Structures are given as C-alpha cells and as structure tokens.
Structure 1
Amino acid sequence: MKISIARGELLDALSTVSRGLSSRTTLPILSGIHVSTHGEDALFQATDLEVSVKTSCKARVEDAGQTVLPGKLLTDIVRSLPEAAITIASDVSGTANITCGQSSFTMKTLPPDDYPKFPEVTPNERVSLPTEEFSHVVHQVSRSVSRDETRPILTGILVVVEDGTLRMVATDSYRLCIKEAAVSGVSGGIELVVPGKAMEDVAKLVGSAEAVSIGVSENQVVFTFGNTTFISRRIEGTFPNYRQLLPKELVTRAVVDRTEFLEAVKRVSLMAQHNSPIRIRVNAGNHTLTLSAASQDIGEASEDIQVTPEGEDIEIAFSHAYLLDGVAVAEGDTIALETTSPLKPGVIKSADKDDFTYLLMPVRIG
C-alpha cells in the first residue's frame, strides 16, 4: 500500500480514530490503527471492542492495500511533521515507511488480517441533531455523569426521544441534570443509556459537521457525522427513576442574575475548603440571597446578591463544587433557585424556560 495525504487532514483523521484505541497490552493488535484504501479515499479505523471509530479522507492512492500501524506512535509522528504531504508506504515484509519532506521514519506493522472487522450495525431508529446543539446538550449533562465504575449504569447518559423531544439525563446520585431539545423525523420512541465517555468523545469530534445522527440497535448506538462513524455499546440495566426525584412542591424560589451568581459562588468557594459546603440564605423580605462558607483554621467569606424572591425565607447548604457546576452549565441571563426544605434537593433552572433542570442534594447544616 502507498498513499499520500495532506498532513492536516491525516492528523484530523488519526486524532478522530484514536478515541477508539485500546490500552490493553493483552491484545497488541488493538493498539494499532487499521489503514486501508477505498477508491480515492484512505480509510482509518480503531477499536477497543467497546468503541469502534471509522473515518476517511481524500488521498493520492498510488498502490491500494491495507496495513495496521502503531496508533499512538503514528499520531505522534504526524503531529511532529511540518505542514506538507505525508506518504505512507507499507510492504508485505511487515514494515512501513512514513516520509514527509526530508523526514523519514520506518516502523513495524501489525498483520491486518488479525484486526477485528468493523461492526455492521443496522439501526432500528435514528434521530438527528444539529452539531452545535448536540455538543451543547452533552456539555451540560456530562458533568453529572458518575465516574464510579462500581455502578456502571450511572456512568452513562440516559437518552430518551418521545413526542418530538430529545431528553438527556445524567446523575451521580449527588446531583441530577436534565436537558431537552426539539427533534423531528422520529417515528417511534427511543430510550437507551449511552456511556458518558462515548458521548463526550463524539461531542469533541463533531467539528465542522452539520449534524450528528444517532442510530439505535439492540445493544449498540451508532453516531454518524461528516465522514466519521462512531459505534459504542449500550449500557445494560435500568436507569434510576429521575422523575420521582424532582420536587412536587415549592416553598422558596429566588430568581438571580446568572453571571453575578456564578462569580459570587466562585469567590465564596475560595473559603469552602476540605469539602466545606456553601450556605445559601434567602431573605424574602430584603430581596437578598446570602452566600457564605467557612473552613476551620482558614477563615470565612460571605456575599449578598439581590434576587427576586417568592415564598418563605430558607437556609440550605450545598457542595460548592456541585453548585458551581450547576450554575456554570445553566442557560439564560437569569436562573431560578428553587427549594422546599433544608433537607430536600434544591433545583437550578432557567428562569424563563423549562428545558433545563439541575437538581442537587443538600448538605446537612451542623
């Protein structure tokens, strides 16, 4: 096989498929990127048997064929080369030459016949979202995905499509995030749990593609965008019933300028060290919300913000990190903080829309 590709396009393709590279030393073939030719295109693919990624780019194909090259090494080499055409030439003896200008590299290849076949998945249902909207929704909910592998279902994002609405939900059992977006062209309902890491990877890779298509099969989910196909296994199991966690009643609601609230939380958080919580006190009579934090042997901080309150005075405390995440990903110029009691979850919403909800568990005030 012998192909020549512009360095920028080659690096983009390698960076994309690298998301599927495996670090398992027990199967060395999975640390490689499969390179092949198809007409005037070069095809690249990688898999760790959980995730499979395939993409293509235009190339000058002098000799058709296929090979498997060490993925990380190849990517590092291409990244180090100047902006010019890069030639990859492999032979049957198990070596490949990478040349660009005056630079030349020789590396051992892996047998392409040993490389796993790319999964052929026929989706039962498919839904499409504009790229920017998809990335935005994933960015909002992914912060609430659990990193604890002992509860695999919580390491995923629940994706539900019904009645023209796509809903993504994530929780780590300390906070819960729900975000909705309008979709069209879906005949039936969709409900599945997708690994959070896979969703984040796709959101980072979509780049200049116009839209992201999500296809669902019995045990896999297929994302297609531009020239790229990204396949991940679904997470089996039952996602927690998030609806029953949402408060049914409302005792206090405070509408606040989002940027002002975010900056105040950042400042007061400087004194919320060693997992100290941030206390929030809403004084309906004075139209103020007071943020305060104290760490033993360090000091304390407090700040007052003007709010538009409804209901009763209340004092509640939250993890400063979780509160900061929620305010950071909320939408709109103003947001609403809703509470029912100091021992029940608080909710952050957009003040004028119902498509975003961030629920967080309170910290008991000592």
Structure 2
Amino acid sequence: MTKLRAVSVGIGHYLPARIVENAEFEATLDTSDDWIRSRSGIERRHFAADGETTSQMAVAAARKALDMAGLAPDDIDAVIVATSTPDLTFPSCATMVQAGLGMTRGFAFDVQAVCAGFVFALANADALIASGQAKRALVIGAETFSRIMDWTDRGTCVLFGDGAGALILEAQTGAGTAADRGVLATDLNSDGRYRDLLYVDGGVSSSQTTGVLRMEGREVFRHAVEKLAQTAEAALAKAGVQPEQIDWIVPHQANLRIITRTAQKMGVGMDRVVVTVQDHGNTSAASIPLALSVGVARGQIKRGDLLVCEAIGGGLAWGAVVIRW
C-alpha cells in the first residue's frame, strides 16, 4: 500500500558570529569553565548581535536549506517556525521569514512548545503533507534565548545560546513500510501541571513585560530523562522499528548528562548519538535542526539512515519523531 511521506530534501543552519566561551562568565558570576562543563557539557555558545533577530537567523538557515534542495522560495507551500522568542508578539515569526525569503504564495505560522517546538513543528508539517495540504514544507527552529536570560542566575544563563536550523520536507510516495524515507512516526505529549518547572516570568496578558527564564533544574532533569526515553520508544513502536535499528539519536541539546542518560535508558551507545551541545549550548527549538544540519555536514547522517529526534521543554511539553533520512 503506497503512502505519502514527508521526506527530507534540504537542511541548513545559522549561528551568530559572536562565540561566548564559558570563561567569559567568570568575570560576573560565581562560576567557572570546569563547573559549567561538569554539569552541562557546554563549552561555548553563540549570542545574537545587537539588532539581530530570530526571523533574520531563520531566513539565513532557510536559504541554506533551499540551496541544498535546489529549490526557490516559491517552491515552498508552508513555512512553520518553532520559536519561543519571536521578533514581535505578532505577527508570527513565520510570516516574517516568508517575507524575508521573498515568498509570494503559501502560508506560514509559528509553533510554540519551547524546547520541544521543532518536534511539534515536524509533526504538523508531516500532517500537512500527508493530508495533501502542502507538497513542500519549510520547518525551522530559531531562538534568541540570550534576550530572556537573568544574567545573575548562574544556574540558567550559562546554559543557553542562539541559532537557527531549517529542514525542507517534500511529499514523496513510499511503500508504507519502515523502509520508506521520510517521517515514519511522531509522538507528542504535554502536562501543564509542571508549568512552574520551566517558564518565563513575563507575558502580554500577565505582566506586560518580556520576563526572564526561570527553571527548577533538578526537577527538569528528572522529568527529562524519564520522558525522553519514553517518547522515543513510543515513536519507535509506532514506526514498527526497534532501538537497535536506529542509526542515530539526534536529541534536544540541553545537557550532556541528560543526553547520555537517555541513550543509556534506550540501550543505544553514545557512538550513535549526534552531540553538539558543547559548541551551541541549549538553543531550545533550534537545537535539533542545528544538530541535524551539523550531523549531515560532518558526514555522520547519510541518506537512508534511521533517526529518532526527541525533546522536552517548558509546559512541560515533550515528543519524538522517527525519520528515515
């Protein structure tokens, strides 16, 4: 039985020029390079320049994905941007990307599921393609988390960075089996009871301020390891594949200890995990597409490889996608 699949045809990423090494924080915080590395695995991150916006970074990543795919902006039917740090309250960042690319057709919208945003956006793109509403979807994760940091909180401000990654999915016909290229299965979850574990303490209707990020690190860690393994295994079961068949886990790059523990719970060796957290920090919704793009550029991820991407973020919201590259 044939089935429409959302197949990857282009990937690209963008990182701001400014690289911030851990040592920079030693001048203003009671912290050190060793402390940050030992607790997170992070060595450096990128921060957006003054005036550099989320949509601008998203456009830069999108252009690279379009170049790889050999497509023009008007070949795209849908633009979906996963972000928690849009340029403005409205309109959506996605419409700004649409304009920035010079697109004169199609539709665009944002998805907000914090660090899980790219997984949620991929699930939306897959559904649009499967239903015939879009032939090609440009899915982007882009964040400027440096704009919502409390620079006096050493437990959070050293963890996050800025960047963007973009993936183009195209409708192609598959045989309806796990051997097909494209998105094979998705698993999405949320539980609003845990909202206070990771949130920003400002907003339009509550405080009329932007606010800054607040996190209960130990509790987030505990939930992350348990829920990431569960959602990845659920997505794999839906796809009809086993963990030993995975070529690569491409996880949300939040913390190296979370990444390692999750892989252990799944029975997958770290030699099959794409890790970029040391160079990017936690870029929230941008972290998975950044890791995908870097994995492709390194020659790790190759056509036909079986990948599982999993992420958890504020909400709490978490999910996974199984995709054959």
TM-score by length of 2: 0.21
Higher-Rg structure is 1
Q: TM-score when scaled to structure 1? A: 0.20
Greater per-residue strand proportion: 1
Q: Which structure is higher in RCO with an 8 Å CA cutoff and minimum separation 6?
A: 2
